[in-house]
Structure 1
Amino acid sequence: MVDTPGESRRPVAGTDAQDATARLREIIAEIRGAADPEGGMAALEPALRQAKDGWRDVRRLLVSPFVREGRLGPAIAGLGVLIAVYPSRVDDRRLLASLLGRMGQWDRAIAESDAAAGIEPGAAALHAVRIQLRMQGGRVAEAAEVARATLALAQSEPGEAYPWMMAFVRNGNAAEAAGIAAALDPDKLPNERVAAMAVRALMEDGRIMAAIRFGDTAVRAGHDCAALRSSLGLSHLRRGTEDDRKVLAVAHFEAGLQAAPEDVRLLTLYGETLLRAGRYKEAEPPLARALELAPDLEQARGLYARALRYTQHYGDAADQLMKLVKKSPDKLLWQRAAIGALSQAGRKEEAEALFARYVATRGDRLPDTFREAMARMEENLDTAPIPQARLDWAWSLRGDTSIHRATWERRARWGHMVDHLLFDWLECREERAEEAMQLLGELDTGERFFAPLLAAGRGVVVATAHVGPMYAGLLALELLGIPSRWLATAPSIAQSGYAAALISTADQTEAQVAKACMRAIHSGYVLCLAIDGAANPAAPRTTFEGQSVTYSSFASHLAHRLGVPSVFYAPRWESGRVAYTLEMLPAANPGEDAQAYSLRWQKAYFERLREHLASQPENLRLSGGIWRHVASADRSAQE
């Protein structure tokens, strides 16, 4: 590197040069010993201009010691003098940018990094610093712009590709990050950081198979590290086969924790994956450890509470959830979970008090009339929190292929939001529930359908899904006076008029729920089960229309064991009113074993569900149940 002196620097030689060097060192020693080092910097510049190669002494004897001692102010001041005298020294500017970044002086840090890259525009490492400082300073969009403008450098120097990929991923430009990753040779990667970031980039762009192949090759090539294992484990969870969820992801998270045993993110991922694999007891230690290291981590505490519940430590689970309620008193998710946990732990008074607060909070957010609530909802359709993957999958299942996508999507959002409004209104405005009844269509058809089935004195198994205006069904059966029981996540402590009709999965064990269902059938009730939903995090799944969906065979086995009829039920919108699809599901043939019948029943159920999903977009609902695990199609073919 060529040293270019400042314009006012006067060259010296011989004895004069030795004297100049000695004088510079004296001043450096004075600055180092001063109570106010920065105040003594005024004498540094003229001495530096006289000394030959004086930058070496300033870096070695002044700047470096201050940096080692953590005294960044004097180090920054010294570098400022160096740059004034030697404006073309890139290393000084790069160090100054780094120190300014550590001090949070982002404008100056970024300016110095830009100046260094301007001196050597072809140096990828200098542009990498420009990108990193912008990300550290929260200027992610700027970082992505710089990465885009200098993309050729990352492509030519794979060893520096990490900040480019990171900037694109953090700015939501996953495709651009994956483009860099796809061009890398996983057998010839420069370092672990690039390997891990490449897998993450491919995964974020939905190239799941490509991410897994790349990561496996990188591990074999010796680039194993915690970050790589984390991204590999997540990639297997995204692919989502049973082996992925229960074996392969778990193995990668275990390997990552061997390298970084106190990595909070890995501990949380590992615990959650064990929990969802049904290994509840094993999930407790990593989640507990994550909380020791990061007590404010809400997600880990919520998962830990679930693990405690499924190992029957109900009191401890309730305590953990109440900590979340105390920390985030307005977060309804934690309130609802805590209500169930308190009830299951036998702490009824606490549960009742929290439920009253939960309902009141939601009620305060509702308008006075249902008409006003509907109008407000329609004004806010664009805010419906529906993942894009669900919309894309539902769009692929539509029956009317002539409908415009924007129109279809708006109607789908309406169906999503109106059902959640119905739930809030029925639970929080019970005294005005009749205002929502205007949405109910003609009910006689339902009454005529169930009458002969119930006349035999036996119960009926009704199989539904998380589709259409779900909550209108309960209202309709109540109005008809049909004796019914509904499996629901609502806690038993609920005080609404329909609470007696619920079998709660929130505060009962699976065995208790099963017994309650059998009692309902023996008592001649219509038993309604959304068989695509389950409170259990390890609920079984099956494949439906290319997606992994939660599916319980409990309904079909119950119908077979008790010899009762079973019905497919789905609420739907028809001319602005709630109508109901009711169709008989297969009865067991004489001598037919439970497994054969269950498979035949499942086929019939999914055929009817598929027909429903092809109907009007208002009838989708797009949350819970079959929608919970919907994933975007793998984009690996786009490598």
Structure 2
Amino acid sequence: MRRLVRTGDWRAGLASFKDARSAGAPPDASARLLCAIARLRLADGDGAVAARQAGAVGGAGHGVQDDRIDAALVKEAGGRVDMRRLAIAPLIRKGELARAVPLLRVLVQAYRDIADDRRTLASVLGRLKCWDEAVECADEAAAIAPMDPDLQGARIQLRLLASRELDAAAVARDTAGLAAADLPNAHLWLAALLRGGQAGAAAGMAAGFDATQFANERVAAAAVQALAADRRIGAAIDAGEAALAAGLDGAALRMHLGLAHLERGYVADKAARAQLHFTEGVRLSPEHLRLNALQGETLLRTGRYVDALAPLSKACELAPGLVQARSLYARALRYAGRHADAADQALKLVEAAPDSPRWQRSAAAALVQAGRVDQAGRLFDRYLRGRADRLPGTFAQALRELEGRVDDASTLSAIPLARLDWAWSLRRGQDGVDREQWERAARWGYLADQLILEWLECRQGREEEAMEVLDGLDELEAFLQPFLEDGRGMVVATAHVGPMYAGLMVLELLGVPSRWISSTPSIAGTSYASALISTADKSDPQVGRAMLRALADGYAVCLAVDGAPNPAAPRIVFEGQEITYSSFAARAAHRLGLPSMFYAPRWVNGRVVHSVQALPEAQPGENVEAYALRWQEAYLQLLREHLAGSPENLRLSGGIWRHVRAPEKG
């Protein structure tokens, strides 16, 4: 009977068992266990029947009689190998995990000092998503063999799968010495530390590995990711390139290596190297969602709009609900000239998040470009009504309420720490300022600028309430008067600093004929809409021509030199950061022989005052390139002086702030 059962002849084995009993031979524990296993294997597939036949219907304390399986029987029979080989392993191979669990529980009860059975039970429970019990089993196994790196890795992995990141990071930190001893699974330690918010510890571990001796591509990819997360960008790139040179390759490694290159900015050579890795990653894994999105985004941001369409379309196909990929796809369609398709994609974003002001605004612009003006108007009106409903009754009340919103979670999350750190490093004459209070003032300024725009757009006919905070108009008018008297146009260069939207009100109050370059769609029904040249629904050449016409017609044209809607806008280095910068203002002033000035409104004691200073004029015979560089230097110096001042005048959004990164280490 034993021979027949162990060779898989279940029916013959049971027949032999029956004959032996009929002949009066009492079965020992081994025979009874093998008989129960044979009955289990002959079960009709119903889990409850099989479990009942096996007698393994519960955990500890559920004894059985006759030839049913329980811990005592297994122990007496010395049946661990038979249980694993004949009963448990076949169920796991067939994917009948729920049937395997009670049998594994019996085995664990019978052999309490053997870690491997608990390891198997933990794995099966994890596959069934019974996370708490799986983690408990893995912990029990590791307690038996604490120096087993596989078991410690299982503890970490199960916690990560159960979304217990902090717990996983604690285990990884406590067992960090085993990661080097278990290099094939070292990525688990790195992943746990990263997801637990301990980038420094993860990078320290990664830095201790020999980059030419990574055990596999997963460890190499995790090491590159960990080093980059701790801003050790150079070390991350070196590690990734060393892994490739050593013959390791894979989609994850290519992705994290490409991202490390991008962390140094979108300067052409860096973006080109990143693009090579993303392209190779997509080749290795064509269905990889993030790699397709990254490949498309990098192509988009380097001006290869048509080339960006295929990978971004693929990303949308792989994850229809991923709004970031769809928004990039819509932008690529727009800049590739496919305005109707761009509008359709923008509307899908609105459908996915109907209450999102961002998607409503961009969809309205896309509809205008596609010629669907009436539909755009209805959408934008709905967008404005939704925002208007959230505004307080008066502007003064809204301004007072900002203080209560400074510490809201939404405000805190809207401003990346890297922007605050950079701005803090630029301040002057504020050595005794408390950082916490300084940040609160900076967040207040961020909210105040948003409020001014919301009031101008949503409280039509009541703009004068916001105008009451304006001050110093006489001084500004006196500065502008000489420029206005000759009837020529002027270039007013602004930046994304201070209450920048106050400028719209200022020039209107002074009666200065002006045009503002703005991202507001041209269908806006606000009182100042006629003064806008919209970048939202015009191409770059159309915006440029409109600006030159307005200047030639004697208008003051106001534009934020540090902002550009085009995703491939050029960047320059300013105070250790990359910022978008357009030389159009300087070139227009040179071409038309017009004056130009730097303008930045500021909050002073709750009132908005105005910083305005003349920018260089072209010298006789000075070519446009030399002038543009001299003009840029003067503009950036004035911008630098503004950023050194009070934190409420930083703004911290758009323009110079968009690409701010934490400094690189090493």
How high is the TM-score relative to the length of structure 1? 0.95
**Matches of 2:149 and 2:391, distance apart in 1:** 56
Aligned residue identity for 1:33: L
Are 2:51 and 1:38 equivalent residues in the alignment? yes
Q: Once the two structures are aligned, what percentage of the paired residues are identical?
A: 54
User: Where does 1:32-71 land on structure 2 (aligned, <5 Å)?
Assistant: 32-34=41-43, 35=46, 36-42=49-55, 43-45=68-70, 46-52=72-78, 54-71=79-96
- 1:281 alignment partner in structure 2: 306
- 1:310 alignment partner in structure 2: 335
- 1:185 alignment partner in structure 2: 210
Are 2:456 and 1:426 equivalent residues in the alignment? yes
Deviations 1:174-209 (A, max 9, x none): 111111111111011111111100110111111111
- 1:211 alignment partner in structure 2: 236
Describe the SS at the equivalent of 2:69.
Answer: helix
Preserved contact between residue 351 and residue 493 of structure 1 (Cα < 8 Å): yes
- 1:392 alignment partner in structure 2: 421
Are 2:500 and 1:470 equivalent residues in the alignment? yes
Are 2:649 and 1:624 equivalent residues in the alignment? no
- 2:482 alignment partner in structure 1: 452
Are 2:574 and 1:554 equivalent residues in the alignment? no
- 1:104 alignment partner in structure 2: 129
**Matches of 1:319 and 1:86, distance apart in 2:** 63
Describe the SS at the equivalent of 1:470.
Answer: coil
Deviations 1:408-441 (A, max 9, x none): 2221111111111111111112233222222111
| CA deviation after TM superposition for structure 1 residue 613, in Å | 0.8
| CA deviation after TM superposition for structure 1 residue 18, in Å | 9.5
User: Where does 1:410-425 land on structure 2 (aligned, <5 Å)?
Assistant: 410-425=440-455
**Matches of 2:501 and 2:457, distance apart in 1:** 10
2:32 pairs with 20, 23, 26, which one? 23
- 2:275 alignment partner in structure 1: 250
| CA deviation after TM superposition for structure 1 residue 33, in Å | 2.6
- 1:334 alignment partner in structure 2: 359
1:525 pairs with 555, 568, 583, which one? 555
| CA deviation after TM superposition for structure 1 residue 497, in Å | 0.4
- 1:198 alignment partner in structure 2: 223
**Matches of 1:197 and 1:48, distance apart in 2:** 43
Aligned residue identity for 1:410: R
Deviations 1:291-313 (A, max 9, x none): 22221111111111111001111
Length, aligned pairs only? 620
| CA deviation after TM superposition for structure 1 residue 387, in Å | 0.8
Deviations 1:482-538 (A, max 9, x none): 100000100001110011111000000111111110111111100001010001000
**Matches of 2:614 and 2:622, distance apart in 1:** 18
| CA deviation after TM superposition for structure 1 residue 156, in Å | 4.2
1:409 pairs with 428, 439, 447, which one? 439
**Matches of 1:294 and 1:249, distance apart in 2:** 23
Preserved contact between residue 236 and residue 244 of structure 1 (Cα < 8 Å): no
**Matches of 1:497 and 1:167, distance apart in 2:** 54
Describe the SS at the equivalent of 2:163.
Answer: coil
- 2:61 alignment partner in structure 1: none
RMSD in angstroms over aligned alpha carbons?
1.5
Preserved contact between residue 398 and residue 614 of structure 1 (Cα < 8 Å): yes
- Unmatched runs of 5 consecutive residues or more in structure 2: 1-24, 56-67
**Matches of 2:41 and 2:476, distance apart in 1:** 90
Cα separation, partners in 2 of 1:367 and 1:243, compared to 1, 3 Å: same
Structure exhibiting the larger radius of gyration computed from Cα positions: 2
1:118 pairs with 143, 163, 181, which one? 143
Cα separation, partners in 2 of 1:256 and 1:18, compared to 1, 3 Å: farther
- 1:73 alignment partner in structure 2: 98
Aligned residue identity for 2:50: P
Are 2:620 and 1:590 equivalent residues in the alignment? yes
2:174 pairs with 149, 153, 156, which one? 149
Preserved contact between residue 266 and residue 301 of structure 2 (Cα < 8 Å): no
**Matches of 1:226 and 1:48, distance apart in 2:** 46
| CA deviation after TM superposition for structure 1 residue 120, in Å | 0.2
1:580 pairs with 606, 610, 616, which one? 610
Describe the SS at the equivalent of 1:528.
Answer: strand
Are 2:642 and 1:612 equivalent residues in the alignment? yes
- 1:541 alignment partner in structure 2: 571
How high is the TM-score relative to the length of structure 2? 0.91
- 1:352 alignment partner in structure 2: 377
> Which fold has the larger relative contact order, with Cα–Cα distance below 8 Å and residues 6 or more apart in sequence?
1
- 1:600 alignment partner in structure 2: 630
Preserved contact between residue 262 and residue 271 of structure 2 (Cα < 8 Å): no
Aligned residue identity for 2:206: A
**Matches of 1:122 and 1:183, distance apart in 2:** 20
**Matches of 1:524 and 1:38, distance apart in 2:** 90
2:350 pairs with 314, 317, 325, which one? 325
1:166 pairs with 191, 198, 201, which one? 191
Describe the SS at the equivalent of 1:382.
Answer: coil
Preserved contact between residue 343 and residue 351 of structure 1 (Cα < 8 Å): yes
Aligned residue identity for 1:41: A
- Unmatched runs of 5 consecutive residues or more in structure 1: 1-15
| CA deviation after TM superposition for structure 1 residue 615, in Å | 1.3
Preserved contact between residue 39 and residue 54 of structure 2 (Cα < 8 Å): no
